[in-house]
Amino acid sequence: MKQYLDLVQTILENGIDKTDRTGTGTKSIFGYQYRVDLQAGFPLLTTKKIVISSVVNELLWFLKGSTNIHDGLNSKIWDPWADADGNVGPIYGYQWRQWEQFRPDESGQPVKRHIDQIQTVIDTIKTNPDSRRLIVSAWNVADLDQMALPPCHLLFQFYVRGDYLDCQLYQRSADVAIGVPFNIASYSLLLSMIAQECNRLPGHFIHTIGDAHIYTDHVDGLREQLTRPTQTLPTIRIANKPFDQITADDIVVDNYQPAPFIRFPISV
């Protein structure tokens, strides 16, 4: 996917050296945006293999609102951040589906309820497609200190464009070698699922990044990727089922022919 490779090239050529909380060190740029048209194919990187089952399982796990890696994640990607019992705190999915709100009852005592941001967005797309409030946020300031990892991809917004549904993601921090290919696929899948639920076609995925960085121990692998030719993008099929009934078996990627996998070390 050319947009991704252009981002890699831009950081390698123009990034500044920065320290980071992991102690690894990065080359970084600030403020970058690109756009992908999902009608041209599903944007699963072809210059290295992406394990699509991990993308699917994590997204469905988020959509359950789960906070424990043993609750159907079926992937090890969150293992480095989980505690001994598998808990990761009120991260992405919890905020998407169960954002806590306290409102006083008739006696003035605070009562907790949960806001399902995903369902609210779906309902609003169906009833008020021109709304400018089609937003889901994971950046709950009150809960940040309870999260194993504060959200990197922290806010996304939908936009109805005729028969098409677009989605823009704001990501405060982006690990370009490991995270970004995963994020592109995950949010493109989410866009496709919500578009189907709302009787729309998946349109553009727009990725807006704050700190886009390459860890120093990822440079060689990314330089290798830049030498590899891109392939035709695959396509995706999602079973025609209600949004919350979709399982991993209902999502199929066709004609994915990537270059070999490149293993990058994870900085925690």
Q: How far is the CA of 71 from the CAs of 78, 88, 136, in angstroms?
A: 12, 11, 23
SS (H, E, C) 55-74: HHHHHHHHHHCCCECCCCCC
- This prediction's pTM: 0.94
Name the superfamily (CATH) of residues 2-254: Thymidylate synthase/dCMP hydroxymethylase domain (3.30.572.10)
Distance in angstroms (rounded) separating the CA atoms of residues 191 and 175: 21
Q: Mind listing the pLDDT tens digit for each residue in 191-242? A: 999 999 999 999 999 999 999 999 999 999 999 999 999 999 999 999 999 9
Sign of CA dihedral 116, 169, 52, 79: negative
Q: How far is the CA of 76 from the CAs of 73, 81, 131, 218, in angstroms?
A: 8, 10, 38, 20
Q: What is the pLDDT of residue 31?
A: 98
Structure tokens at 47: 């210059």
Q: Pick the closest to residue 96 from 119, 74, 122, 127 (CA basis).
A: 119
Q: Mind listing the pLDDT tens digit for each residue in 9-46? A: 999 999 999 998 888 899 999 999 999 999 999 999 99
Residue numbers annotated as active site: 152
